Structure 1
Amino acid sequence: MKKHLLTVSALALAVMSGSALAANGGDVQFIGTVTDTTCDIVPEANGAVSNVVQLGNVATSTAAAAAGDTSNQGAVVNFALKPKAGTTCNPAGMTNASFAFAGPLEVTGLAPQSGAATDAMVKLSAVNATGGAHDINKTQSVSQVTLTDLNDAAKGAQFSAQLIGGAQAGDYNSAVAYVVAYN
């Protein structure tokens, strides 16, 4: 009886472990950079270290057109990417930092990743880039600043964001990733 029960238990365990192995899988993505000089860059919005930029509310493009105004264009919100408080970025022999952005970038700006406002966009702009201010989008996703500006606590790498409403009302959520290279 014990041998029969042990055999049935072993068979049940084998069947259960097989179904556990057949469960849905997924991916885990790990991203990093190995450099000879590290620099901890943090986002700062509205004077606080935060990776969330609040863009407020805008009208739909349909409502704005009916009113004959630009109420579908939100306020420009400034934010910066700076070295963590108390640190500086001084790679030997380097004078600039290039920020490369990746995400749902389109020609007109940053498309939503989720939310009901599926045709809204965020216009991203580099403010103090070495070549002058420019938009960040699908065709130009890299911005360069001097290390002098980057290390200036009052400046950093400065950017702006502006929510532009489309015809669809609802919430807008999106994100971009950035990588910093020194040159």
Structure 2
Amino acid sequence: MSYTTLRQPQGVPVSYVNLIREALIAELIAINDYYKQIVNTDIKELKEILQHIMEEEKRHYGMFLQLIRKYDPEQYGKYIEADKDVKISTNIKLSNHDSKMQNQIILNNIRDDIKSELEAVVLYEQHISMIPINEIRDVFKEVTADEKEHIEELTSVLLKLDKDSYGPISK
């Protein structure tokens, strides 16, 4: 996971796939922000509008992640592995926890974790493109592969815990 500043991506995207990763980061920030607003207002009409916008942001997340899986074969392989390895019940009901606020915190924290992993991939792939020493590049490549695995594992958990759809990616 990368060390991040609030809302400031790390690294400079040196590939179109990393530009898509930055788009994923933006969608995760938007989802979390809308969720916080939904939980913190009692105005029914506003909740409905914010819910609609948040659902579209989740669909955007799914669309972008599907593109990354298509154009980054390593990420796709990590998706296949995570799909087999992540064991968490789809029957878990977050509402059994303390409150709606607790549910928000759990889902937002997972999305923040995914955001950090995406930032790490962008940053480390930037480093790989700049470092001429194979041994150093190989370590960065191995760590980057692990970060991609973390993205898929966390996304698998998110899809199983969040009742909403994330567009074309499946639960």
Q: TM-score, normalised by structure 2?
A: 0.25
Higher relative contact order (CA 8 A, sep 6+): 2
Larger relative strand fraction = 1
TM-score (norm 1): 0.24
